[in-house]
Amino acid sequence: MKILNIHGYHGNPKNSAYQALEALGCEIIAPALDYDNTLPESIIRDLKFILTDKRPDIIVGTSLGGFYAAVLSAQNDYPVMLVNPFMMSFLTFDGDVRSRKDIGSLISLFGSLSQLDSSNVSCIVGDNDELLGDHKFTEELLGNVRFRRIPGGGHSGATLPLKEYFAEMLPYYTDNLLKIG
């Protein structure tokens, strides 16, 4: 199975999700994203190009990458697995002028989540996420039978049983969504 893996803010393309997917034998496309110096619209454009060019089966996104993965899913009806997604990223970018410009773009992208099909979404969160809190909003937005809250799990994917979670979720996509598409 071919996966587009989108890392988080200041993250590594070969993050914990990448390592778990690699251990499961997945083919992984993992671009390095510069969230500080690239406008949100450009990030989405570049990721859409990867979807068209590389044709992954599923998108995986961690933290801020989870937000972008969810937006791609909503805009392109794509299956997605999210790890501690940072769904309301526009709330923290309130510093310099460039960041204020990005807030409007992030809010616009956030608005596209109203089109998100929950049958496309699987999500795992740590219930002790020191950066994003309790994930109650995320659970209300994305919660379905494939939503997993990990007791004691933190923000880092390394604190979550990603290999086991992905092994559990991948057959859902293979058996259900990919046959439809």
How confident is the prediction for the chain on average, in pLDDT? 90
CATH superfamily for 2-180 is Alpha/Beta hydrolase fold, catalytic domain (3.40.50.1820)
Per-residue pLDDT reduced to its tens digit, 14-73: 999 999 999 999 999 999 999 988 999 999 999 999 999 999 999 999 999 999 999 999
Q: Phi and psi of 29, rounded to 5°? A: -105, 120
* Tokens 């990919």 found at: 178
Contact in structure between 66 and 82 (CB atoms under 8 Å): yes
Per-residue pLDDT reduced to its tens digit, 79-92: 999 999 999 887 76
Per-residue pLDDT reduced to its tens digit, 60-78: 999 999 999 999 999 999 9
Q: Is the pLDDT of residue 143 over 80?
A: no
**Could you tell me which of 160, 176, 145, 139 has the C-alpha nearest to residue 58?**
176
Calculated CA dihedral for residues 179, 142, 144, 152, nearest 10 degrees:
120
3-state secondary structure of 161: coil
